[in-house]
Structure 1
Amino acid sequence: MSNAAKAGTFQLGDRKVNRMGYGAMQLAGPHVFGPPKDPSAAVAVLRAALEAGVNHIDTADFYGPHITNQLIREALHPYSKDLVIVTKVGVRRGADGSWNSALRPAELTSAVHDNLRNLGVDVLDVVNLRVFWGAMEAPTERSIEEPFAALAQLQQQGLIRHLGLSSVTASQVRQAQGIAKVACVQNHYNLTHRDDEALIAELGRQGIAYVPFFPLGGFTPLQSQALSSVAARLEVSPLCVALAWLLQRAPNMLLIPGTSSVAHLRENLTASELRIPAPMLAELDALA
């Protein structure tokens, strides 16, 4: 059994994927802008991920912009039938590398066509609406009816198989579900940032995947020290423990750790083999 398959599978749209996936954001240049220093290394990481059993890749055409999708196409096209590529729209990059909201229907339509072209496909597996109002703040309660309806229209045109959401509240998920079926939700969630506990459980009851980002983001020094202590006793890295904790937290959790290094990729994938004993799990649960 491949490393990525050891954590089991969960439904994503109409396909079952291995719960340990891969996030492509770090394949672009510094600050997710411009090309990487070594494009051949980026291609090698993508190919190594698939060889290890990864069949769920998370990307966005605003990474680079366009860079990561072009690298994915170079490395993996023609794509294997079991590979699910999830992309995001709702953000555009300025010439200075700035992150800007792009939630108008015309902008979303343009972004979907950019993704199709750069990935080299006729239909996108999953498109997440990245709800972004112009600052990297926590999700805020605003209507997402217009942008999500625009994506639903593109889905009806046959350009998108499944729709998802990113950086949303529980009420925005419900609003979207009144427009079209939601296949996945991608939000900030980790050992110490657990605002979405109720949402994860509700999505699990509905058979909907939850995809956490920033597995090590926002820890205090004391929290990091506690995590490092558990990691040392298990003889693995803190990131490996943080990923394994997420896998044990809920069965509908799909992980997308990113890296630009094959060695780091393999280390991340070992989290799928790690079972955290109950006493250490309790220590980690107390960090929030």
Structure 2
Amino acid sequence: MNQLLIDGFTQSGVVILELAIGFSLFWLGQFIYQKLFRRRIELNLELFVKDNPAVAIALVGYYFGIVIALGGVLGQNSGSLPNKALYLANYGIMVIFFMLAGAWVGDKLILRHFNCEREIIQDRNIGAATVEAGNHIANGLILNAALAGESGGWLVALVSWLIGLLVLVLVSFAYPNFAKYNVFAEIEKRNNPAAGVGLAGLLIAAGNIVRVAFSAEFVTWNISFLRYALVLFFCLGLLIIIRFIADLILVPGVKISDEIVNQEIPNVGAGLIEAFAYIAASFLIAWCF
């Protein structure tokens, strides 16, 4: 009985420690986000004076990405509480660095057709903010697998993360072709939130697929990366098929693209259904592996 109490208090202490470090990392993350990535944003002004929802969406996506990335090591046994605290803090700082690098890649390559910072701050563009949030969450999912493995070392983790970012960029290039409309023009020129939600859902699903592909422990470069590639191609192909199945099953008799683009007021509900189809499919695929 005494041992149960001791174990309970020890576990409670670990949980409190992880929460304290986690929220400290959120503060550090938003400080660096504001100073290095979105240097024109004054968060308190945008969030609580101007009540800018686009800034809130992008920032929450960034926070969520950090949480998911940290999930790769939370609960792991790292020895004593001081050692665990030091390990988690070091890991968290590294996660923030990779999150910001992934955000920069998303800004320059995924949202390459317009100035995302201007769209979020000046135009309060919900669609652009949602895509940025989706990129942050997808990056967190990739980091969850790339950095949490116990084999392979830092080079494997770095290569896996870079491959994951490349997948997100390629998905953003391919998406307008099977969505059958100019996604980025809809987001920029029409401030179309439904288009942004659909693309964000696909990015999150792709990030989740990358997480699944890289979740297996590293063996050798040839064996592991061949397996990673096969899983990626197969699962990403399924996501493309899901886009067309969603029209037939989830909204029979209606074209999701028409609801997103060819309406006087874009149908955000249609964008949410499309995003749900991608994300739900990615989790179903993950649970099958």
TM-score interval, smaller chain: under 0.3
Which structure's residues are more often helix, by fraction?
A: 2
Which structure's residues are more often strand, by fraction?
A: 1
Which of structures 1 and 2 has the bigger CA Rg? 2
